[in-house]
A and B are shown apart, each in its own frame.
Chain A
């Protein structure tokens, strides 16, 4: 599938469509009927279709403390709502997600049905539908679309296989790429009598039309992969001190592990009963590790698998889980559980997961690439991710400029301090300076007293920055020197003939600023393995 990335600044919080705000104002529906009515309300109002999409976020509060079966029921009903409203480009991602990795008959059937209300058939959709058919053919259980939480089995009952076949028929010639696979499935003799009738109609629809399908590209609005430029990345400060336990029982904080080198992070839990999700995710992580090894990058790019279920997934469990899937485990590659709570992690990564008590009730596929500062640089969400693509992205992050730029801020601040120290008190002094610098021969630069407050602000910014860094690292010598330097510079302004004082102030400021930068760098290097 074509790589789609958003512009810098986009957020992977889920269904953040342009316009409609999340539907969080309404209280959690108290009953099935109320939920169904609320969804119907959204369906009926075209201005609120964005809120319908928002209901497909796993972490939507309406799914809190609901069992998996109830969540499936609710999501399926929302998907059926899309069948009435039409599936937007943004909602398409959730529909494809269900086809890509779903194994619940109701959800797969409703997703297949919803897809048929998308604006236009597209060849890129066919592999998703065919994959769902292959994955769900042995679970072709009857489902009902008649009403919410309805399980009636009359003639209007349908099934995932039926819905998928109908969707392939809707795709028509756009499904030609999967024709051989569909023919093989029909030939295998595994379809029921009813499904066979439908299958033959589908085959005809695919073969029959002379229409040439458009090229195989998913719509530009489909979002499953996000990238952020370095400046736009969310700081990891809020979880810097989150404590993990690894597969060997060793404790390590977020910063201790994730600072200093880029990382590839997946989420999983051992009690996931969808083999297309967690089991496959961790298996693929092992493949990612092999790719890194083959490129001699296994020590430069770390990997981690973090469990959603830290209370149950104790060290021994996650170690076995990883071992059975051939995951490499060492200082740079770990299976982790958060021992001081999953909540802060959920907030930071905006994880697509929800819980009934401590048990996961639903989660999405999610893989993250973190930069060397532990900030999310890229994410791959919902759909099957390609190991090579993830590794390539991590390599790009690895190649990002290291932070010598970090020195520019204190240097600018220091220069500002110097400038203030020597700022001319009058136009004559201004001319004298410029002469000294040989500038007046070239340009007549007017006396610019307005520069003083600007330089003062820069100096204060420098002092503040050094103090913050000092507090973060615990090394306060830099801030003390910079503050003292600033005071000395100010004193020199009020003391005529204070060149020595100014020089002393500059030296103190410069020393303090540089110390602040280098002790911070040394601090993080010390924490790396």
Chain B
């Protein structure tokens, strides 16, 4: 007897990634040999390595978690749905598998599928292999030309779409998601790490990772680090050096308010977003000399994306603490009128392709096209709306799940 399992309801191997939110799956009998009844009960269980990820199961999206799950499968091959929930983050692709045993004599294994609990992690906690996979994939993206789109999206001409207004957090969440999905087309096991700017970065700011400032402030990397070939439209490398008196490997960013203080800014989005955009977000940017210090050049530095990943994580954590996933709840967002692109039902530039040819509030071009897709979920589609970024975990509506999660949010 054999069964077929689909993680995220896809046979695509690049869809075998789960997070903390329930991922819809299905199972069916493909070969009923040995079955003596019209239905066969099978038991699903997760098999983890010592350092790998772990999963649990649910019968329904809102059901209870269990380490095993019994399902009754018809021998006619009809699919039966279930859900997989990540319990512990993986460190490599396929380090957790789901095993299916038929509840018949000898309990044979009738199906196995490898998957990964893919989570955005603190850059300091990455294994060497995780770090290297991220760097290799990011360095590849840099040379494909697709990276230039992410640069073009973050230049001064486009900034009112993304900064200094309530859409700041949704826009950057979408921006990071788009970039991460592009990286995942190169290596699907990679999730964006984040830089805890309110903590020291002893591993992050080394030659092997995000580099170390040389005497002029030009970042140096080790000879084995693919980031040594980093280039953007104006030339080679990265300019980034810490402000005088700060050692990033042993000290948090000076004057950057810590996570606790940020989360305590207020329990409504209005109270939270505006101050946090300045500090810790803006403050983290300006702890450096170099590209990352100013809006027109910030996205030339790969650290920029790790910085914003942390900003997004803080928002995610704030959402969880305050229960702010539902766009219908006033405190989840800011309902004050704003330019298009910042209101809940609005699509966002550049993914909506709208330029000043039709809307004078938009930039002249919309680089990069629509939002990248993911085999793990259909959300948010090619033209994300602001409201879709709130329920990123699918808490309110399972269909809203954006298929990313943070290790501690």
- Chain A residues at the B interface, C-beta cutoff of 8 Å: 103, 134-135, 138-139, 181, 188, 270-271, 273, 275-276, 279-280, 283, 316-317, 320-321, 324-326
Contacts and interface: CB of A to CB of B under 8 A. Distances in A.
Contacts of B364: 135, 275-276, 279-280
A213 to B, nearest CB: 22
Interface string B134-156: 00000000001110110010011
B155 A275 contact: yes
B145 A320 contact: yes
A165 to B, nearest CB: 17
12 contacts: A138-B157, A181-B360, A275-B155, A275-B157, A279-B367, A283-B355, A283-B365, A316-B145, A320-B144, A320-B146, A324-B145, A324-B368
Contacts of B146: 320, 324
B99 to A, nearest CB: 43
A325 B149 CA distance: 10
Nearest to A181: B360
Contact of B152 (A134, A139, A276, A279): A279
Contact of B365 (A103, A134, A273, A275): A275
A175 to B, nearest CB: 16
> Interface residues of A: mostly helix, strand, loop or mixed?
helix
Contacts of B233: 270-271, 273
A325 B355 CA distance: 13
A275 B145 contact: no
Nearest to A103: B157
Interface string B251-283: 000000000000000000000000000000000
> Interface residues of B: mostly helix, strand, loop or mixed?
loop
A283 B160 CA distance: 21
Given A320-B145, A326-B369, A275 B363 contact: yes
A14 B206 CA distance: 55
A103 B155 CA distance: 13
Contacts, number: 47
Contacts of B159: 138
A467 to B, nearest CB: 50
A280 B157 CA distance: 13
Given A320-B144, A324-B145, A138 B156 contact: yes
B369 A324 contact: yes
Contacts of A181: 360
B251 to A, nearest CB: 34
Interface of B: 144-146, 148-149, 152, 155-157, 159-160, 233, 339, 355-356, 360, 363-365, 367-369
Contacts of B355: 283
A321 B152 CA distance: 12
B160 A275 contact: no
A280 B367 CA distance: 10
Chain A CB within 10 Å, residue with most, of B156, B159, B339, B365 = B365
A317 B155 contact: no
A48 to B, nearest CB: 37
A324 B159 CA distance: 20
Contacts of A279: 152, 364-365, 367
Given A280-B365, A324-B369, A275 B360 contact: no
Contacts of B339: 188
A326 B149 CA distance: 13
B50 to A, nearest CB: 43
A337 to B, nearest CB: 15
A324 B367 contact: yes
Contacts of A320: 144-146, 148
Nearest to B366: A283
Given A135-B364, A320-B148, A326-B369, 17 more contacts: A134-B356, A134-B360, A138-B157, A138-B160, A181-B360, A271-B233, A273-B233, A275-B155, A275-B363, A279-B152, A279-B365, A279-B367, A283-B355, A317-B145, A320-B145, A324-B367, A325-B365
Nearest to B149: A324
A181 B359 CA distance: 12
A320 B152 CA distance: 14
Contacts of B363: 275
Chain A CB within 10 Å, residue with most, of B144, B157, B355, B363 = B157
A273 B234 CA distance: 10
A139 B149 contact: no
Contacts of B367: 279, 324-325
Nearest to B155: A275
B369 A275 contact: no
Nearest to A272: B233
A283 B356 CA distance: 13
A160 B355 CA distance: 23
Nearest to A326: B369
A321 B151 CA distance: 13
Chain A CB within 10 Å, residue with most, of B148, B156, B364 = B364
A389 B339 CA distance: 32
B329 to A, nearest CB: 28
Chain B CB within 10 Å, residue with most, of A134, A283, A316, A324 = A324
User: A-B pairs with the 5 shortest C-beta distances?
Assistant: A320-B145, A279-B365, A280-B364, A283-B365, A276-B364
B359 to A, nearest CB: 11
B249 to A, nearest CB: 35
A393 to B, nearest CB: 20
Contacts of B148: 320, 324
Contacts of B155: 275
A434 B361 CA distance: 81
Contacts of B360: 134, 181
Nearest to B339: A188
